[in-house]
Amino acid sequence: MNHLQISDLTVAYRVGGHTVPAVRGVDLTVPAGGKLGVAGESGCGKSTVALAVLRLLPANATVTGRVLLDGEDVLTMRWGRLRAVRWAGASIVFQGAMHSLNAVHRVGDQITEPILLHGKGAITPAVAERRAGDLLEQVGLPAHQAAAYPHELSGGQRQRVMIAMALACEPRLIIADEPTTALDVMIQAQILRLIDGLVTEHGIALMMISHDLSVLADTCDRLAVMYAGRVVEEGPARTVFATAVHPYAAALGAAFPTVGDPAARRAPRGLAGDPPDPAQLEGGCSFCPRCPRAVAECARVDPALRPAGPDRAAACILVPPGGPSPRSLRASAAEVPAAPEGRRR
Ligand SMILES: Nc1ncnc2c1ncn2[C@@H]1O[C@H](COP(=O)(O)OP(=O)(O)OP(=O)(O)O)[C@@H](O)[C@H]1O
């Protein structure tokens, strides 16, 4: 059964007299215990999708579509139910834990609070405190650090506390939105391994958001690549990373060093140009102005996501329905244009 099923999700923000179409008809699925990576450059709508899943969007957002969590539509459920679902159905780990933790409360109290409010069964304060200690140990912190205030912890330790909070009510889905952005490289790897290990151990479904395709390919089973508010390619994570069929997904993959097979190693290459301003989208494929393979028709046709092989989908008129041949995939990998100096991501 699918734990999360997002269908035709559209989110537009009102800014002044304008509308910013941040997410445009997105379909995504995370099966129970599955791991979906959502990738794309800054501004493509990844966080907006995450916030929509828990109905945490700001007041200037208008949402349409369906977000089913265990078959219940989050977008239409009553507030009382939504509060319970936000902890026990799905919880979220944001980037930058310092902004998400309350500076004036001890971290232990911040973990026990949701356990007392939404935990399963009859929970006394003593039980909640013990559970908070257990959770801190699960994320690699000593239980006595429950007494610490956020400013007494390092960035990595604070992010571990956020993960403990996300686990507090035994959710069936964790959304990790760029969970390592503010951390140094060594700590990033530890936190990613921690999240991966915990969701695997507890059978929790994961939706991990990152601009880094290589991290997602390492952690997730499936990968969705977004561009200008749309999913442009979706499929098995390692396949999409290694041999993307959509020119944008291929370019994004080429912007990172390859992992694994030394024979397949290549130097990372940047992608020229910038994503479009969502408020200024024109007709045709939104990647067309940056696409090395664009033909005249691309400026006119805005392609829908369609099958591109047995287990993947892509939104590009140049991708045949059965998927491209291995030969054309190799050729297209060589086409990714280098970004001019100073514009590398
Ligand atoms: N509260 C808001 N009001 C108006 N526009 C917004 C708001 N939040 C996001 N946007 C716009 O919506 C679009 C998508 O933003 P979003 O944050 O979802 O992208 P993202 O892919 O998560 O980017 P990043 O990786 O930088 O977080 C962007 O154009 C952004 O400027």
The CATH number of the structural domain formed by 2-26+45-211 is 3.40.50.300
Q: State the Cα angle at 260 between 33 and 308, rounded to 5°.
A: 60
Proportion of the chain above pLDDT 90, given as a percent: 65
From ligand 1's centre to the CA of 260, what distance in Å?
A: 33
User: What are the CA-CA distances from residue 22 to residues 42, 180, 224 (Å)?
Assistant: 12, 23, 16
From ligand 1's centre to the CA of 18, what distance in Å?
A: 15
Q: Which residue out of 18, 28, 42 has the highest number of ligand 1 atoms within 8 Å of its CB and is therefore the one to mutate?
A: 42
Is 254 in contact with 269 (CB distance < 8 Å)?
A: yes
State the pLDDT at residue 325: 60
Average pLDDT of every residue of the chain: 87
From ligand 1's centre to the CA of 232, what distance in Å?
A: 18
- Closest atom of ligand 1 to CA, residue 277: 29
From ligand 1's centre to the CA of 253, what distance in Å?
A: 22
From ligand 1's centre to the CA of 48, what distance in Å?
A: 6
Domain boundaries, given as residue ranges, for the chain = 2-26+45-211, 224-333
> What's the pLDDT band for 344 if we cut at 50, 70, 90?
very low
Interface ipTM = 0.98
Instruction: Please tell me the pTM assigned to this model.
Output: 0.88
Query: Ligand 1 site: residues with CB under 6 angstroms?
Result: 13, 15, 20, 22, 40, 42-48, 58, 60, 211, 278
Is 28 in contact with 36 (CB distance < 8 Å)?
A: yes
Q: State the Cα angle at 179 between 231 and 36, rounded to 5°.
A: 35
| Protein residue with its CA nearest to atom 6 in ligand 1 | 13
> What's the pLDDT band for 274 if we cut at 50, 70, 90?
confident
> What's the pLDDT band for 118 if we cut at 50, 70, 90?
confident
Q: How far is Cα 303 from Cα 322, in angstroms, rounded to an integer?
A: 16
Q: Which residue out of 44, 48, 225 has the highest number of ligand 1 atoms within 8 Å of its CB and is therefore the one to mutate?
A: 48
| Protein residue with its CA nearest to atom 4 in ligand 1 | 13
Q: How far is Cα 81 from Cα 73, in angstroms, rounded to an integer?
A: 11
Q: How far is Cα 165 from Cα 179, in angstroms, rounded to an integer?
A: 13
For 200-244, give the DSSP string: HHHT-EEEEEES-HHHHHHH-SEEEEEETTEEEEEEEHHHHHHS-
Looking at the DSSP bridge assignments, the partners of residue 313 are 234, 307
